[in-house]
Amino acid sequence: MSDKVRRYLLAYDVESDARRNRVAKTLESYGDRLQYSVFVVDAKPAKLIRLKAAVTDKLDVATDSLLVCDLGPLSGGDRIEFIGVARPFTGQGPLVI
Amino acid sequence: MSDKVRRYLLAYDVESDARRNRVAKTLESYGDRLQYSVFVVDAKPAKLIRLKAAVTDKLDVATDSLLVCDLGPLSGGDRIEFIGVARPFTGQGPLVI
């Protein structure tokens, strides 16, 4: 596995407010919040493994869901576009409105 | 712009319940729901343009947000992984739990 930084989009569906807040806090410590339940994280493999462990620890895997989407290397250009309210994030290309 | 099918991840933050339901219904007519506010859509450029217009029409762009993330060509392999509850979607690779 290459040790390069890749960009990930993460989104959760968490039933309980308490768990949801803990998951959100954890994800915010790793990256930027784009929407209420959607985050972007730039990570090398080791950081992603730590993030997944930290979040899984706070989920009820029987009812909750964490989606992890690999957007590829940072050099892959900007894959994220907003319509309406757009939250800036680290390493974002020019914001086109 | 190539006329090939690409995969898109879409997520929304919509303030009002009525608008949110209309946006969700619209997105479900174009693709699969992965989480409460996250969808995956496989589309050629023309379909994506129609989708964006149909959703923008139902948003209050001053308060609501639609995130559109280009995951690349379908041949790009599976970029989406779940921890916990996983909803199957069209064209998904083998589900690893």
The domains of chain A are located at 6-76
User: Which fold is adopted by the domain A6-76?
Assistant: Alpha-Beta Plaits (3.30.70)
Which tens digits make up the pLDDT trace of B54-97?
A: 999 999 999 999 999 999 998 766 789 999 999 888 877 654 44
Which tens digits make up the pLDDT trace of A62-83?
A: 999 999 999 999 876 678 999 9
Alpha helices in chain A (DSSP H): 17-30, 45-56
When CB atoms are compared, the residue of B36, B64, B79 closest to A85 is B64
pLDDT for the residue A92: 72
Phi then psi for B58, rounded to 5 degrees?
A: -105, 0
Count other C-beta atoms under 10 Å from residue B74's C-beta. Answer: 12
Which tens digits make up the pLDDT trace of A14-51?
A: 999 999 999 999 999 999 999 999 999 999 999 999 99
pLDDT for the residue A88: 84
Please name the residue of chain B whose CA is at the shortest distance from the CA of residue A11: B38
Phi then psi for B40, rounded to 5 degrees?
A: -120, 135
pLDDT for the residue B97: 42
Which tens digits make up the pLDDT trace of B7-32?
A: 999 999 999 999 999 999 999 999 99
pLDDT for the residue B96: 44
pLDDT for the residue A75: 75
When CB atoms are compared, the residue of A61, A79, A82 closest to B83 is A61
